[in-house]
Structure 1
Amino acid sequence: MKRRTFLATLAATPLLPTLAHAAPLDYKPGLINERIDAGETVFLDYKASWCTTCAAQERVLDALKAENPAYEARITFINIDWDTWARTEVVSSLNVVRRSTLIAIGPDRREIGRIVAGTGRDEIKALMDAALAVATS
């Protein structure tokens, strides 16, 4: 192995636990239960690529994650594509009535909170902070 590559890899090693949640995961059946069973707090984002409200929520989520890396380090973010999953159990079991719904669920399977079609920074931050509090308790 080249020395530079080795040193770069060595320097990045302490970041690996932090990067475990770095990118939102795309939903697949069983993923939510798998992550909750592993003791994780999950943040579900029901969205559609054509939804302007979803896009506004995503901009706020991205800005908040950039301001506070603890969100991504401690919370598992899962994107659920509305066009693919709208008529399935992942929607009906949680009583999701529309896209642009954000739901935080703790490792005890209790809903921490939800936002339906809300795009306000303070509202979304409050939900993320509540999820982070559960994730770090």
Structure 2
Amino acid sequence: MDRRHFLVLTVGAASLPFAGKAAPLEYEAGLLEKHLKTGDTVFLDFKASWCSTCAAQERVINTLKSENSDYEANITFIDVDWDDYGKSELVKRMKIPRRSTLVVLKGDQELGRIVAQTGRSQIKALMDTALEAATA
């Protein structure tokens, strides 16, 4: 085996542990509707990069995802950048009061919402609601 093939195979093998860890989708117009129309359960995270509450929520969400791969396998996670979409039609229509709001949707139903909560038990309960809807 030559050096080039060895390096390609090594990099490929090293990336396998990360293959199942899909990053959340970045919101753009039409993305939410597309996923809801196909029957996906959607977990919306209204966040800002400078928001410490949002960062605390993200740490909990990532920990829960790492502990249970069913979350990422069954739920569509979409991050909504508050700086870009805080005054958007989506925010107005859904009555999102502020950044650090987490919302679960399926079809035309809102299944749950958390505003500015960072507790593991509250976020896990919301993610479990999403998982239950996604696998029903």
User: TM-score if structure 1 supplies the norm length?
Assistant: 0.85
C-alpha separation between the residues in 2 aligned to 1:77 and 1:109? 17
C-alpha separation between the residues in 2 aligned to 1:28 and 1:55? 21
The equivalent residue for 2:66 is 66
The equivalent residue for 1:75 is 75
Aligned residues: 125
2:31 corresponds to which letter in structure 1?
L
Larger Rg: 2
2:88 corresponds to which letter in structure 1?
T
Q: CA deviation at 1:22?
A: 2.0
How big is the alpha-carbon RMSD for the aligned residues of Structure 1 and Structure 2?
Answer: 1.9
Alignment of 1:58-137 (within 5 A): 58-106=58-106, 108-137=107-136
Identity, % of aligned pairs?
Answer: 53
Q: Give runs of ≥4 in structure 1 deviating > 2 Å.
A: none
| Local SS of the residue matching 1:93 | helix
C-alpha separation between the residues in 1 aligned to 2:34 and 2:134? 16
C-alpha separation between the residues in 2 aligned to 1:91 and 1:59? 23
User: TM-score if structure 2 supplies the norm length?
Assistant: 0.85
| Local SS of the residue matching 2:94 | coil
Long gaps (5+) in structure 2: none
| Local SS of the residue matching 1:112 | strand
